[in-house]
Structure 1
Amino acid sequence: MATAVFLGFIIFSLYLAIRSKKGASKKDVHDFFVASGQFGACLVFFLTAGEIYSIGTMVGFPGGIYAKGPTYGIWFLGYILLAYPLGYFIGPKIWEAGKRHNAITLPDLFKGHYHSRLLEVLVAATAILFLLPWGELQFLGLIAAFKGLGWNLEPIYLVLIAALLAFTYITISGVRSTAYIAILKDILMVVAIIVTGVAVASQAGVSHVFHAASEHVSNVMNARQLTFSMSTMLFQALGFYMLPVGVQFFFTANSGNTIRRTQMAMPLYMLMYPFLVLASYYALSQSLHLASPNEAFFAAATRLLPDWLLGLVAAAASLSGLLVLAGLSLSIGPIVTRNLLPNLPESRQKRTAKIVIAIYLLVSIVMTLSTPNLMLTLVNTTLYGVTQFFPGVLIVLLSLRVRAGAVALGILVGQVLAIILYVRQVDLGGFNLGLLCLAVNVLVMVSANAVAKVASFSAPRHS
């Protein structure tokens, strides 16, 4: 029964993708990747939420609570709630800059404002570098989800099917199919989480579960944990909308006010987190011996839900991973064809991007199956890297005049320093290393810009 329900939702998602084609008035590159800026608040809301609340919501957050207790949830929830007010103000500005520079990708913003090929290539290349592991994370999340649900499928078949489905969604109508499927995915995900949490509350009891879990995990934060939580909240809130896929989704909106409306409604999703905590605490209270903390939510679902509801949970988990995979592909494809391949005409960008996406998915499959531990390590550097774009983007949004070379140097120093500190496991007393690197980034950029200005003023002028 579970398999039938699961397959039914997957088939319905393909129907939604086909249905989404009716909204397309054109078939050019802008429509394929950013829907020609036609989406209203509803579609933008579900599209952006679909990327934020991914399979990590059902895997990573409950796993962190299971392994580390409520202290894990403080920074996890805190940075998201801090990011939304920031998105309310900078989201419309990003949209306006995108309109001004006819942008599809994040590097397009840098290209349009700074008029520097070097800076454009640097942002494009490093964006892809730091995004690459994110796709593998979705594959690994899907594998963990199905293992947790007791579906012992061979990983190679699972990732191949997932990649094929993601590519099919993209091919049908690009970002439009992703937006339509996001509506189904979010409904399924919220229902799956709430139903599981309610099942825990009704069958095990909230007070009993919390009391039993408190014997396994600590509810107290020491000074180091507090430093980590506070610095990480700030850093990740600044980088929340610097992921190229998030910036690109802003470009799908039909106005800046549309984005403001979506940001106002986003916190509603946080209401599902108490149910995730309940599921995690249930796994702790039952002393379940899990192969991985990431199976905590699914262990509760498997024990408490009827077979047909497990099919719904599996569909929610699958679509959560597939949509992020599709979103990443829709971001990486045009970055390569618009920003890395010189002088490729727009008429060929869409077709070439599909080839790039297929290659990206194949590489992700190989890396997932051959070096999963390396990929999980590299995922931790993603936000360290992309958040270094924040000063440069802020300059674009405020229409300031800063030299492209200074911005490029700041980004490069910040990213390299982040990788070095992470690889060497430098102890900063709990302080988030990315925030330190961001400060260095800004310092280098300001200094380099000042030096360049002085040099230009002191240079001899010939009449």
Structure 2
Amino acid sequence: MATAVFLGFILFSLYLAIRSKKGSSKQDVHDFFCASGQFGACLVFFLTAGEIYSIGTMVGFPGGIYAKGPTYGVWFLGYILLAYPLGYFIGPRIWAAGKRYNAITLPDLFKGHYGSRALELLVGTTAILFLLPWGELQFTGLIAAFKGLGWNFPPTFLILIAAALAFTYIAISGVRSSAYIAVLKDILMVVAIVVTGAAVVSQAGISHVFHVASQHVSNTMNTRQLTFSMSTMLFQSLGFYMLPVGVQFFFTANSGDTIRRTQMVMPLYMLMYPFLVLASYYALSQHLHLASPNEAFFAAATRLLPEWLLGLVAAAASLSGLLVLAGLCLAIGPIVTRNLLPGMPESRQKRGAKFVIVVYLAISIVMTLLTPNLMLTLINTTLYGVTQFFPGVLVILLSLRVRAVAVALGILTGQVLAIILYTCQTDLGGFNLGLLCLVVNVAVMIGVNVAAKLGGVGALRHSSPHGRA
């Protein structure tokens, strides 16, 4: 029964992808990747939420609570809630900048504003490098979800099917497919999480679950943990919308006001998290022997829900991972064809991006199967790297006059320093190393820009409020 329900929702998602193509059969590159900026608040809301509340919501957060207790949730929830007000103000400005420079990708913004090919290449190349591990994260999350539900499919089979589905969604109508499927995915995910949490309350009781769980996890934070939580909340809220896929989704909106409306209601999704905590605590209270903390939510669902609801849970988890995978592909494809390959005409960019997407999926599959630990370790560096774009983006949004070379050296310094500190496991007393690197990034950018002006380096290209040297 569970398998039938699961397959039914997967088939329905393919129907939605086909339905999304209605009225846009001949898609140019802008429509394929950014829906020609036609989405209203509803589709932008679900598309953005589909990227934020992914399979990590059902795997990573409950697993963290299961392993580390409620202190884990402080920074996890805090940075998301802090990011939404920031998105309310910078989201519409990113959208406006995208319109101004006819942008599809994040590097397009840097190219348009700074007029620097070198900076465009730096942003495009490092964006792809830091995004590469995320494909494997989605595959690994899907494997963990199905294992937690007791479905012991061979990992290779699951990965190949997931990659094929993600590419199919993209090939049908690009970002429009993702937006339509995101509506189904979010409904299924919310239902799965709320139903599982409600089943915990009904069958075990809140007080019992919390009492037993409190004997296994700590409810207090020491100074180091508090420092980590506060610094991480600040750092990750700044980097929340610097992921290339998030910027690209802003470009799908039909107005800046549409983005403001979506940011105002986005916090409603946080109402899911108490139910995730209940599922995690239930797994603790029942002394379930899990192969990994990431199976906590699914272990609770398996124990408490009937077969047909497990099919719904599996569909929600699968679509969560597939949508993020599709979003990554939609971001990486045009970065290669528009920003890294010189002079490719727009008429060929969509076809070229599809080829890039196939290559990216193949690389992700190989890395998942051959070097899983390496890539999952590198995932921790993603936000360290992409958040270094924030100062450069802020310069664009505020139309400041800063030289491209200063921005480039700031980004490169921050990213290299982050990799060094992370690789060497440098102890900063709990202080988030990415935030330190961001401060160094800003200092280098300001220092180089001031030095260049004082030195009268006229040959260096710099930005103007209209993006020209």
Which whole-Å deviations, capped at 9, do the CAs of 1:11-43 have from their partners, x for residues lacking one?
000000000001427510000000000000000
1:220 paired with 2:205, answer no
1:152 alignment partner, SS class: coil
Q: Distance in 2 between matches of 1:415 and 1:23?
A: 43
Q: Distance in 1 between matches of 2:435 and 2:148?
A: 35
In the TM superposition, residue 456 of structure 1 has moved relative to its aligned partner by 1.1
Query: Which residues of structure 1 form unaligned runs of 5+?
Result: none
Corresponding residue of 2:293: 293
Which whole-Å deviations, capped at 9, do the CAs of 1:238-294 have from their partners, x for residues lacking one?
000000000000000000000000000100000000000000000000111100000
Look up the equivalent residue of 1:18 and give its one-letter code.
I
Which residues in structure 2 correspond to 1:48-67 (within 5 Å)?
A: 48-67=48-67
**Aligned-residue RMSD, C-alpha:** 0.9
Q: Distance in 2 between matches of 1:314 and 1:191?
A: 12
Corresponding residue of 2:308: 308
In the TM superposition, residue 302 of structure 1 has moved relative to its aligned partner by 0.2
**8 Å CA contact 1:24, 1:35 repeated in 2:** no
Dislocated runs of 4+, deviation >4 Å:
none
Q: Distance in 2 between matches of 1:26 and 1:39?
A: 17
Q: Distance in 2 between matches of 1:117 and 1:324?
A: 29
Q: Distance in 2 between matches of 1:26 and 1:71?
A: 50
Which whole-Å deviations, capped at 9, do the CAs of 1:96-125 have from their partners, x for residues lacking one?
000000000000000000000000000000
Corresponding residue of 1:441: 441
Measured at CA, do residues 458 and 16 of structure 1 come closer, stay the same or move farther in structure 2, by a change above 3 Å? closer
1:381 alignment partner, SS class: helix
Look up the equivalent residue of 1:112 and give its one-letter code.
G
Q: Distance in 1 between matches of 2:159 and 2:152?
A: 13
Corresponding residue of 2:138: 138
Which whole-Å deviations, capped at 9, do the CAs of 1:289-308 have from their partners, x for residues lacking one?
10000000000000000000
Q: Distance in 2 between matches of 1:298 and 1:258?
A: 35
* Amino-acid identity (%): 85
Q: Distance in 1 between matches of 2:303 and 2:185?
A: 23
Measured at CA, do residues 396 and 199 of structure 1 come closer, stay the same or move farther in structure 2, by a change above 3 Å? same
Corresponding residue of 1:102: 102
Corresponding residue of 1:183: 183
Look up the equivalent residue of 1:276 and give its one-letter code.
L
Query: Which residues of structure 2 form unaligned runs of 5+?
Result: 460-469
Corresponding residue of 1:75: 75
Q: TM-score, normalised by structure 1?
A: 0.98
Corresponding residue of 1:332: 332
Corresponding residue of 2:261: 261
Q: Distance in 2 between matches of 1:15 and 1:74?
A: 39
Corresponding residue of 1:429: 429
Which whole-Å deviations, capped at 9, do the CAs of 1:123-178 have from their partners, x for residues lacking one?
00000000000110000000000000000000000000000000000000000000
Corresponding residue of 1:389: 389
Q: Distance in 1 between matches of 2:41 and 2:141?
A: 29
Look up the equivalent residue of 1:162 and give its one-letter code.
A
**8 Å CA contact 1:41, 1:258 repeated in 2:** yes
Q: TM-score, normalised by structure 2?
A: 0.97
Which residues in structure 2 correspond to 1:1-400 (within 5 Å)?
A: 1-24=1-24, 26-400=26-400
Which whole-Å deviations, capped at 9, do the CAs of 1:47-95 have from their partners, x for residues lacking one?
0000000000000000000000000000000000000000000000000
Larger mean Cα displacement after TM superposition, 369-378 or 312-321: 369-378
Q: Distance in 2 between matches of 1:379 and 1:134?
A: 6
Q: Distance in 2 between matches of 1:314 and 1:420?
A: 39
In the TM superposition, residue 455 of structure 1 has moved relative to its aligned partner by 1.3
Look up the equivalent residue of 1:19 and give its one-letter code.
R
The alignment of Structure 1 onto Structure 2 pairs a total of residues equal to: 459
Which whole-Å deviations, capped at 9, do the CAs of 1:161-208 have from their partners, x for residues lacking one?
000000000000000000000000000000000000000000000000
Q: Distance in 2 between matches of 1:331 and 1:277?
A: 32
